[in-house]
Amino acid sequence: MRIFEFIRPPDTATAIAAAAQSKTAQQGADVRFMGGGTTLIDLMKLNVEFPDRVLDINRLPLDKIDPTPDGGLKIGATVRNSDLAYHAKVQRDYSVLSQAILQGASAQIRNMATVSGNLLQRTRCVYFRDTAMPCNKREPGTGCPAITGHNRTLAILGASDHCIATNPSDMCIAMAALEATIHVQGPKGTRAIAFGDFHVLPGNTPNRETVLEPGDLITHVTLPPPITGSKQLYLKLRDRASYEFALASAAIVLTIANGNIKTARIALGGVGTKPWRSPEAEAALTGKPANDATYRQAAEAALRGAKAQSENAFKIELAKRCLTYALRTAAAS
Ligand SMILES: Cc1cc2nc3c(=O)[nH]c(=O)nc-3n(C[C@H](O)[C@H](O)[C@H](O)COP(=O)(O)OP(=O)(O)OC[C@H]3O[C@@H](n4cnc5c(N)ncnc54)[C@H](O)[C@@H]3O)c2cc1C
Ligand code: SF4
């Protein structure tokens, strides 16, 4: 294995990765990009990931946060999670993103972790990380022991008969609610992917988690112009107060006028196999009075399709209460 190759021009990085003709740019691939390494190196130590080459992308000029001409924000792929969370414009105009990042991991990890690495962090399902166990995500076709085993923290939305793993990211939940766009440079050129289209449901190919293709390098993420007067909140419920993944979380971006909800963007974390935007909750909120009855109806709508596993039925009510409380708190802010 050749590790820590430093890459400068992005097209060199994508050419090397594409030449490897791996299944995708980031899963089971021979060539892997490395941001902070807080996911990738962990998994390499566990023998879950074993790329031939690791390309360190930290010398690429992708570490800036800049305004866009339309009033939005451009966030480079290697911007550190801490730098993004404490950026003045993010704290002022996209506070849900700042809140979500700061409730994830630890200060040390946030100082290392990059935006692109966070977008592609892997599940915390215990079987995925234990090579003594079968796992469809790690080794397609071997089975999913979580379905009959330990699944307390796993997904209640978007699961399949092949995988019930939760997407663990906090940052992604806020980005889903903010309608971010992910920008990629690959062997065929550049393209922009709407946040909701980036992660894919497990279906019968849980080894594939995103629409990235061989050689695709995430270069940056853009946020649309901020919504004037929006009330934003990220609420995360977990087993302990810090350094723990969400059992349920909610990202809220609301506007309210004359006591009625004008616009609502809602995403849920800790419950879905991908960052879970809820158009059902948004429809239940839009145009309705900003009160507890409306918030609970939205929560019921958001979780209507939820399916419990043997150990995680509690998450359905927990997620409903999380969303209801987050909406009430955001509306009152
Ligand atoms: C103990 C611990 C606790 C944690 N707690 C939380 C938590 O509570 N909430 C939470 O949200 N997260 C948590 N995390 C996860 C953490 O947020 C991620 O590990 C981190 O965001 C990954 O970023 P990175 O830059 O280190 O990724 P890396 O490890 O460098 O990369 C991750 C993946 O992305 C790929 N990649 C990186 N950059 C690119 C690119 N530009 N283009 C294409 N592919 C790329 C890599 O090949 C790899 O597959 C925790 C992690 C640890 C270790
Ligand atoms: S839930 Fe997914 S990641 Fe976990 S064991 Fe099953 S297939 Fe593997």
A 10 A CB-CB count for 288 gives 16
SS3 177: helix
Q: Which of 118, 125, 240 to mutate to test the pocket of ligand 1 (most atoms within 8 A of CB)?
A: 118
Structure tokens at 219: 């270069």
Look at residue 4 in the predicted model and tell me its pLDDT: 62
Place of tokens 């379905």: 147
Ligand nearest to the backbone CA of 28: 1
Distance between Cα 151 and ligand 2 center (Å): 9
Look at residue 19 in the predicted model and tell me its pLDDT: 67
pTM recorded for the entire structure: 0.96
- Amino acid identity of 268? L
SS3 102: helix
The alpha carbons of the chain give a radius of gyration, in whole angstroms, of 19
Atom of ligand 1 nearest to the CA of 39: 29
A 10 A CB-CB count for 23 gives 16
Q: What distance in Å separates the CA atoms of residue 165 and residue 168, rounded to the nearest whole number?
A: 9
Question: Is residue 38 in contact with ligand 1, taking CB distance under 6 Å?
Answer: yes
Ligand nearest to the backbone CA of 218: 1
SS3 154: coil
**Residue nearest (by alpha carbon) to ligand 2 atom 6:** 144
Ligand nearest to the backbone CA of 154: 2
Question: Is residue 159 in contact with ligand 2, taking CB distance under 6 Å?
Answer: no
Question: Is residue 155 in contact with ligand 2, taking CB distance under 6 Å?
Answer: no
Structure tokens at 74: 């451009």
> What single-letter DSSP state applies at residue 290?
S
Ligand nearest to the backbone CA of 108: 1
Look at residue 214 in the predicted model and tell me its pLDDT: 85
Q: What is the DSSP string of 39-69?
A: THHHHHHTTS---SEEEE-TTSS---EEE-T
Q: What distance in Å separates the CA atoms of residue 144 and residue 127, rounded to the nearest whole number?
A: 8
H or E element that contains 263: strand 260-269
Q: What distance in Å separates the CA atoms of residue 291 and residue 282, rounded to the nearest whole number?
A: 14
CA distances 58 to 78, 228, 305, Å, are 6, 34, 41
Structure tokens at 51: 């790329």
Question: Is residue 128 in contact with ligand 2, taking CB distance under 6 Å?
Answer: yes
Mean per-residue pLDDT over the chain, rounded: 94
Q: What distance in Å separates the CA atoms of residue 122 and residue 100, rounded to the nearest whole number?
A: 17
Distance between the two ends of the chain, CA-based, in angstroms?
52
Structure tokens at 249: 């979380």
CB-CB contact of 299 with 293 (8 Å): no
- Amino acid identity of 127? Y
Q: Which residues of the chain have pLDDT under 50?
A: none
Question: Is residue 144 in contact with ligand 1, taking CB distance under 6 Å?
Answer: no
Distance between Cα 261 and ligand 2 center (Å): 39
Question: Is residue 122 in contact with ligand 2, taking CB distance under 6 Å?
Answer: no
**Residue nearest (by alpha carbon) to ligand 1 atom 13:** 105
Question: Is residue 245 in contact with ligand 1, taking CB distance under 6 Å?
Answer: yes
Residues 6+ away with beta carbon under 8 Å from 243? 105, 106
Question: Is residue 236 in contact with ligand 1, taking CB distance under 6 Å?
Answer: no
Distance between Cα 290 and ligand 1 center (Å): 37
Ligand nearest to the backbone CA of 135: 2
> What single-letter DSSP state applies at residue 8?
-
